[in-house]
Each structure stands twice: as C-alpha cells, then as structure tokens.
Amino acid sequence: MQPTAQERLPTQASRRWALRSIAVIMLSLLLLSAGAAWWFWRTAASPGSAPATLDTPLDVLLGQNRRAQFEAKLAQRRYGSRTWNWQDYVQWGRELVHWAQVKNPPLGPAPSVPLAETYRCIHCHNLVREDVILTQQDPEAREQMLEDNPALAGKKTGVRLMTGTTFWGMVNRERFYNGYYARYHRLKVRDGGQFRPMNPESLADAVQVCCSYCSAGRFPEDWELDSILAYLWTLELRLRDLDLPPPTQLRLLEQLNSSHPDTVAAARQELRKHYLLASAAHAVEPPLRSDDAKDIYPPSVAELERLFPPRSDSSDPPTSKPASKPRPPASLHTNLIHTGDPKRGEWLYKSACAMCHGNEVHPKSGRALAISPGTFHRYVWKGTQRDGLYMPFFTRERLSPRQATDIRAYLRSLPANQTD
C-alpha cells in the first residue's frame, strides 16, 4: 500500500530534524574543540605565541621578543619614501657584511657607497658557530673542532680563527666590547645628528663602533644599520643550539610551556647559563721583549677618534683618558716554551692570517712575515699600524701563544723567496 502524502510528511520532517540535530552537535563539537585549542594555546604557550619547541628562538623563550619588536618597527620605517620587507633588509645586511656595499640600495647611489675602503666584516668575524662548547671560547678547542670536522672550515665563509667574535648568536648577547675592549665604551656613536658615548648594552651601538673604528670605515646610515641588525637576527640562537642533554631539553620545554610564572622564570634563568651573555676578550702580553716594533695597535681611544673622527658639528669633544694596561692571566706564560710545529702552523696560518695577507688588505704573506720573534709576537698580540691599514690583535680567546708559535715556525720553514 502506498503511503499517503499525510503519512509521508511526518517521516520526512523527523528525518530532517535528526539531520539538523546531528549538524548542530557536530558544529558545537567543532566550536568546543576550537575553544579548547585556543585555551590550551593561551595558557600553555606563555613564552610566546606557540608552545616552545627545540626550534624556538631563545629571544622568544626568554619572553623578550626583541626580534618581533624590531620587525614591527622596520615595517613602519620609510627609506626612499616607501616601506620595505624584512627580507629586503636581511638581503642588504648580508651584502654589507660580505662586501660593505649594497647592489640595489633603498636610497642613494647604486651600488651604495662602501662602509669601509678595505675591511669587510668577514675579515674579522665568523658568521657561523665557532665554539664546541658555547660557554668556552678556546682557540685550541676551535682548532681541534676544525681538525675533527674539516668541512666546517672548508666553505668560503667557514670557521676561521678570526680576531673578532662570531656573529652567530650575537643578537642574544647582552653586553658588547668586553674585557680589554671595555675601553671602547668611551667611543662615540651617532644618534640622530648628535654623537654620544656608546651604550655597552646596545648591539646597534656596537655595530656602529665596529663599522667606523674597527673596520677603519664610516658610521653606517640608518638603513645600513637597520639592515645589518636584520641580518644578525637571522643568526639568532635556538633552544636546540644549546646542546643540552635530551632529558634536560624535555624538562625545560615542559617548564617553559607551563602556566606557572615561577616555573617559567626558573627555566629562563637556567637557559641563560648555557650560552654566553657576553663574549670575552683578554689581551695577551707579548711573551718576548723587543725594541724594534714601533707603532702598536690598538691606539688609545683619543688616537682612534683622531684617526676616524666622527663627522658632526657636535661641540662635545671626544673623551681621551689614557687606557690602563691590562694584566694578562699568569697561566698564559706557562705554555710559551714551545718551539713550534710547522705542520700545524701551515693550517693555522691559512685559518688565522691568510684572509688578510697576500691580498688587497696587506700584500706581504708567507716567509716575509717571519720577522724576529719579538716583533712577530708583538704584532700578533698587540696588532700593528704603520702607515696604511692597521692589523687587529688577537686576544686569548682568538689565538693561543702555542698557535702563534706554530705559525711562525711554518713561516720560517718556507724558502726565502716563497710568499705563501
């Protein structure tokens, strides 16, 4: 028997009703889970916008978010009457660090005017990790690391024994120009149209100091400074970089993701112990007496400012207190009785000296550098400046007396007419 229209209607209505309630239940479930996810995200991710993982930057884990703030500021800035992307700044920064100039700058002539005539940041700074243990800056451990992993030194911008500290993790440091270089804190930096002493806690100030004084160049323009800083942010540290044992990593992640402020604060305190908040720089006294080396770098602050005068009509004169002589740690002199290993010296020379010798920085290389031991060591530990460019000196964190002796032994082993 065929059902009548009246009989069919209620069945269709109830079916529709059932479908509608299923849809309502599903929708509420969806909303509920979205709400739960949101709640979880808000409470669990106290250090940032997402739960912490091994790849979370330390800047975020520490609740500082300085990179995000800087990115937001850059997004507002106008150069050449328009705003630019973060990636534009990073690219310009990369070019400035490698070549001191930018092919297509946001304003001014293209290519841009070089920051310095001869020196590039990469003559004195690595761009990658240079220490096996992040809290130990030891040039011999660095040498060992490179011996164990030759690929690390192999690339064009691989690890070298540089006179300056690495750019890797630079943005995570909290104090710049330390140890012997603390005297640089009296140097002037540009601030708008004025000059003022550098703030040792400002990376931007440290970059200004190194562009003008260390690189024997000029102060960066605002867009250049912004670009270098943006590039340095690409080299920031992440939790993974601290090489903590897996159980510690897990525990820290749990603490950092907790909703208790005290637990998060304790984890942050602990994080800060596993990397350098400041890069050390201890001067080494030349081990041998010598009377023939005359112009010794680094010059006093007054001399530096005379050589690279800040350009402004500010009436504030540069400070010129004589720098006090640093005392080297006594332990350094114990390993100086070392005749030198030319085989090790060859590799060390290529790593520590060759980027500046036998090229546009300084024409002399090889045997020509094997001058008397007194003068040689004096140049290495105090640097030198005669007429042209200066040679930066190596601190205890950058080269060991044993390594310098090996280099000299290698240079002396070369035939007199050989240059490298």
Nearer to ligand HEC, 257 or 351 (CB): 351
Q: Rounded CA gap, 263 and 92, in Å?
A: 40
Q: Rounded CA gap, 168 and 213, in Å?
A: 21
Is 366:411 a contact under the CB 8 Å cutoff? yes
Residues contributing to the site for ligand HEC (CB under 6 A): 97, 115, 119, 121, 123-125, 163-165, 170, 173, 176-178, 181, 203, 206-207, 210-211, 214-215, 228, 279, 281, 352-353, 356-357, 361-362, 364, 369, 371, 376, 379-380, 384-392, 407
Nearer to ligand HEC, 20 or 364 (CB): 364
Nearer to ligand HEC, 257 or 346 (CB): 346
116 three-class SS: strand
Print burial letters for 285-299: b (CB count within 10 Å at least 16), e (below 16): bbbeeeeebeebbbb
Cβ of residue 42: shortest distance to ligand HEC, in angstroms? 36
327 three-class SS: coil
Please report the DSSP string for 49-75 in residue order.
Answer: SS---TTSBHHHHTT--HHHHHHHHHH
Per the structure block, which two tokens stand in for 374? Answer: 């007194």
Cβ of residue 355: shortest distance to ligand HEC, in angstroms? 6
Nearer to ligand HEC, 257 or 384 (CB): 384
Nearer to ligand HEC, 100 or 252 (CB): 100
Nearer to ligand HEC, 48 or 179 (CB): 179
Q: Rounded CA gap, 37 and 327, in Å?
A: 59
Nearer to ligand HEC, 53 or 234 (CB): 234
Cβ of residue 274: shortest distance to ligand HEC, in angstroms? 17
Of 301, 407, 390, nearest in space to 352 by CA: 407
CB atoms within 10 A of CB 120: 20
Nearer to ligand HEC, 195 or 410 (CB): 410
What ranges in 353-400 are assigned the alpha helix state H? 373-382
Angle between helix 342-352 and helix 401-413 axes, rounded to 10 deg: 100
Cβ of residue 297: shortest distance to ligand HEC, in angstroms? 8
Nearer to ligand HEC, 46 or 275 (CB): 275
Nearer to ligand HEC, 129 or 251 (CB): 129
Give the CA diameter of the chain. Answer: 124
Q: Give Cα separations from 6 to 14, 18, 334 (angstroms).
A: 13, 19, 108
Cβ of residue 270: shortest distance to ligand HEC, in angstroms? 22
Nearer to ligand HEC, 195 or 390 (CB): 390
Q: Which residues contact 206 (CB under 8 A, 6 or more apart)?
A: 176, 177, 198
Q: Give Cα separations from 97 to 145, 279, 300 (angstroms).
A: 25, 19, 26
Tokens 């041998």 correspond to: 288
Is 72:233 a contact under the CB 8 Å cutoff? no
Cβ of residue 305: shortest distance to ligand HEC, in angstroms? 17
Cβ of residue 348: shortest distance to ligand HEC, in angstroms? 7
Output the CA torsion sign for 152, 384, 114, 77: positive
Is 340:408 a contact under the CB 8 Å cutoff? yes
Cβ of residue 321: shortest distance to ligand HEC, in angstroms? 19
Cβ of residue 370: shortest distance to ligand HEC, in angstroms? 8
Cβ of residue 408: shortest distance to ligand HEC, in angstroms? 7
CA 100 to chain centre: 16
Q: Rounded CA gap, 379 and 288, in Å?
A: 11
Cβ of residue 320: shortest distance to ligand HEC, in angstroms? 20
